[in-house]
Amino acid sequence: MTTEAIRAARWRAAAIGAALIAGAGGYWLGRSGDGGGTSGAAQGEARKVLYWYDPMVPQEKYDSPDSLSSMGMKASRPKYADEAGAAAPPGVSIDPAAMQNLGIRIATAELGTLQSGFAATGTIEFNQRDVAIVQARSGGFVSRVYGRAPGDVIRAGAPIADLLIPEWGGAQTEFLAVRKLGRPALTLAARQRLRLLGMSESVIAQVERSGRTNGTVTVAAPIGGVIQTLDARRGVTLAQGQTLAEINGIGTVWLNAAVPEAQAGQVRVGQRATATLAGFPGETFGGRVIAILPAAQADSRTLTVRIELANRGGRLRPGMFASVALGGGDAGAALLVPSEAVIRTGARTIVMLAGKDGRYQPAEVRTGREGGGRTEIVAGLAPGEKVVASGQFLLDSEASLTGVPVRPLGGAQ
């Protein structure tokens, strides 16, 4: 075969191949054209999606549900064309499938009873109103001590130290001499001088009865309790008015409880309280509120409530940790919602209402007492209305960004 014949055969084969490809392409285009017409009709019947967005940042718009928003979440929420122009009731709508992903939980506002009492914690401390200061009434010397030390528990009348007071000896000698004169006025004046020197009536009576001077006096504890400080040491020289010991009574103790500011209005002076301690399981200690300190703790936002407890047997020791129940009893019926459903913005308090049409709208409320995980709604809600108890912060954020109005206090159905 010549070269020209080979070339001619190749051209013929190429022309036949081109014809086959063109025919197949035309057949495929014809088939796809039929299918495209059916698909277009179905698309026309479906809702048209304008864009996709992330509920966390609804102002961001994306062309694909697989796109990631600035929050790192998929833009899985569609915005339909019929939603843009339709007049819908105020609120944000949530796809039922998305509710589960967002963890949205609904609760109903209903009438119930709320216990007026609440619990707080605190520590046991000494009763600072039950303190005795033991002082030297005259200058002298410590001639004897009775083996006391700070921290010891002593009874009332227990001896602490013996003091030798030289000035007393001279005054007592003069008193005995004047008494022998038989002049009542002078005797009365001499007796008064002994009192001014710090002698008790028992010491004066002993001198008068025995007719002998006694410059040594035993200092005893005026109350029973714990020795806080002790400066009486043998041989120490004392000045008039110098403190020998400080004794704190333990017949009663204070429980200083930290009460949150939200419950401060439920506490009053004279109110009964019940305390429990880990050291005495199953046992309760009754007391009453004797003071509410005027200053609040800035770091914990609590007030200190002082409760006085009887301390029989001295078992309650300062430093012990205690739980205290204040108030108690039934406070009557109230409209209640879960406390977690309440959003406090600082400027106002709101809840997210769940409508029957699947839309959610913020509503302003006025709250009252709290207890047992529930909050009293004083105004802004009606019994039976449903609120969002979990996931409400996401809904409130979207409602704020999309300009959904907040239902005022007077808008409850």
Q: How confident is the model at residue 322 (pLDDT cuts 50, 70, 90)?
A: very high
Q: Which of 30-39, 268-277, 282-291 shows the lowest per-residue confidence on average (mean pLDDT)?
A: 30-39
- Residues 226, 140 share a domain: yes
In order of 18, 118, 122, 294, 322, the CA distances from 300 in angstroms are 86, 17, 13, 15, 18
Within 76-198, where are the H helices? 81-85, 96-102, 166-181, 184-196
Q: How confident is the model at residue 10 (pLDDT cuts 50, 70, 90)?
A: low
pLDDT tens for each residue of 361-411? 888 888 887 777 788 888 888 888 888 887 766 766 666 655 677 788 776
pLDDT tens for each residue of 327-337? 665 556 788 88
- Can you give the pLDDT at residue 199? 84
- Residues 124, 244 share a domain: yes
- Can you give the pLDDT at residue 223? 93
- Residues 353, 250 share a domain: no
CATH code for the domain in which residue 110 is found: 2.40.420.20
Is residue 179 assigned to a domain?
no
Q: In what order do the strands lie in the sheet with 216-220?
A: 216-220, 159-164, 140-145, 237-238
Give me the helix-helix angle, 184-196 and 166-181, nearest 10°: 170
pTM of the model: 0.55
Task: Please provide the average confidence, as pLDDT, over all residues in the chain.
Answer: 79
Q: What percent of the chain has pLDDT over 90?
A: 22
Q: Which of 74-88, 170-184, 307-321, 352-366 shows the lowest per-residue confidence on average (mean pLDDT)?
A: 74-88
Please give the average per-residue pLDDT across 139-146, as a whole number: 89
Q: How confident is the model at residue 275 (pLDDT cuts 50, 70, 90)?
A: very high
Query: Which candidate, 56, 133, 118, 127, places its Cα nearest to that of 92?
Result: 56
pLDDT tens for each residue of 22-58? 343 333 333 333 444 443 334 434 678 888 888 777 7
Is residue 172 assigned to a domain?
no
- Residues 156, 58 share a domain: no
- Can you give the pLDDT at residue 17? 47
Structure tokens given for 50: 């304008």
- Can you give the pLDDT at residue 195? 87
Looking at 328, 359, 394, the residue that finishes a domain is 328
- Residues 302, 226 share a domain: yes
Is residue 358 assigned to a domain?
yes
Q: How confident is the model at residue 247 (pLDDT cuts 50, 70, 90)?
A: very high
